[in-house]
Structure 1
Amino acid sequence: MASLAMNLILERIALFQFTPTHCVQARVMLGWSVEQLSREAEVSVDDIQGFEAQQDVADATRLALAYRFEAQGLVFFPGFAPGRSASLKGVTPESVERGDFAMVE
């Protein structure tokens, strides 16, 4: 039960920290189009465009986007542009594919 509560807390933190502006900035940093992000995060192009236009989207959509960018080594803090995580050194491709990767480390 404690891990479920912790997961919910971590999801809320991710939702608070990841903004539409971050999404645009992260795509630019990675050189990804909306279409590539759609494939990478398994989120529709319409949902990504809506989110980046500051429209409401499902929390699951926002989490999928944030977690996909985090899997690429990006970190997000309110009021700042995305940054690169230094803690990804030594991360294996297998751990990146885990559903709970954003909570690892």
Structure 2
Amino acid sequence: MASLAMNHILERIALFQFTPTHCVQARAMLGWSAEQLSREAEVAVEDIQRFEAQQEVADAARLALAYRFEAQGLVFFPGFAPGRSASGQCASSESVGRGDYAMAD
């Protein structure tokens, strides 16, 4: 049960840290269109457009976007532009589907 509670807390942190502005900036850093991000994160283009326009989208869609960018080595902190992971390594694509992905190095 503690693992489930921890995952919920980590998801809440990821949702707080990843903003619509981050999404726009991260796409620009990677050179990705909304369509490419849609394919990469398996999130509808319309959801990406709504999120970037600061409209409501499902938490699951926001997490999928944040986790996909994190898999590319990006990190997010409120009030700052996205940065590259200090480790210089991207998380493997297999990590994205794991429930504990937010804890991956």
Q: Give the TM-score taking structure 1 as reference length.
A: 0.91
Q: Alpha-carbon deviation of 1:87? A: 2.4
Q: Which runs of 4+ in 1 moved over 4 A?
A: none
Instruction: Tell me, in whole angstroms, the C-alpha distance in 1 between the residues paired with 2:19 and 2:45.
Output: 17
Aligned residue type for 1:66: A
1:33 aligns with 2:33: yes
CA distance in 2, matches of 1:60, 1:87: 27
Total equivalences in the alignment? 104
Alpha-carbon spacing, 1:73–1:5, altered in 2? closer, same or farther (3 Å): same
* Equivalent pair of 2:71/2:91 in contact (CA under 8 Å): no
- Mapped contact 1:38–1:48 kept (Cα < 8 A): yes
Structure 1 residue runs without a partner (length 5+): none
Please tell me the residue identity of whatever aligns with 1:33.
S
**Identity rate, percent:** 79
RMSD of equivalent CA atoms:
1.6
Deviates more, 1:91-100 or 1:20-29: 91-100
Q: Is contact 2:34–2:48 with CA below 8 Å preserved after alignment?
A: yes
Query: Which residue is equivalent to 2:2?
Result: 2
CA distance in 2, matches of 1:45, 1:9: 27
**What SS does the aligned partner of 1:86 have?**
coil
Contact kept? 1:71, 1:101, Cα under 8 Å:
no
User: How far 1:94 sits from its partner (Å)?
Assistant: 5.8
Paired position in structure 2 for 1:93: 92
Match of 1:19, as an amino acid? T
Distance change (3 Å), C-alpha of 1:70 and 1:46: same
Q: Under a length normalisation based on structure 2, what TM-score does the superposition of the two structures give?
A: 0.91
CA drift of 1:103 comes to 1.6
